[in-house]
A = this chain, B = another copy of it.
Amino acid sequence: MSASTSLLDKKQMESEGIGLLHYVEDRHGGVIVNMEKPMDSKVFSSLLNDSLSHWREQGKKGVWIKLPLGLSSLVDVVVKAGFRYHHAEPDYLMLVHWIPNIADTLPANASHRVGIGAFVTNSNREVLVVQECNGIFKGTGVWKMPTGTVNEGEDISTAAIREVKEETGIETEFVEVLAFRQSHQSFFQKSDLFFVCMLQPCSFNIEMQPSEIEAAQWMPIKDYADQPFMRDNELFDFVAKICFSKLDGNYSGLKPLPSTTSSGKKTFLYFNHDASHLLT
Contacts and interface: CB of A to CB of B under 8 A. Distances in A.
B87 A183 contact: no
Contact of A190 (B110, B155, B252): B110
Number of copies: 2
A113 B153 CA distance: 12
A209 interface: no
Interface residues of A, number: 86
A52 interface: no
Q: Is the interface of A mostly helix, strand, loop or mixed?
A: mixed
Interface string A140-152: 0000000001111
26 contacts: A69-B85, A75-B76, A87-B88, A87-B188, A87-B190, A89-B109, A110-B111, A111-B153, A112-B114, A152-B189, A152-B191, A179-B254, A179-B270, A180-B254, A181-B267, A233-B262, A234-B259, A234-B260, A235-B260, A235-B261, A235-B267, A238-B257, A238-B259, A242-B278, A245-B275, A253-B272
A12 interface: no
A135 to B, nearest CB: 9
Interface stretch (A13-21, A100-108, A122-130, A219-227): A100-108
Given A76-B72, A193-B114, A235-B260, A181 B269 contact: yes
A91 interface: yes
A251 B275 contact: yes
A74 to B, nearest CB: 8
A189 B78 CA distance: 22
Nearest to A93: B85
A114 B150 CA distance: 14
A84 interface: yes
A126 B189 CA distance: 39
Interface of A: 69, 72-73, 75-76, 78-80, 84-94, 103, 105, 107-114, 134, 136, 149-156, 178-185, 187-191, 193, 211, 233-236, 238-239, 241-242, 245, 250-254, 257, 259-263, 265-272, 274-275, 278-279
Contact of A238 (B111, B193, B279): B279
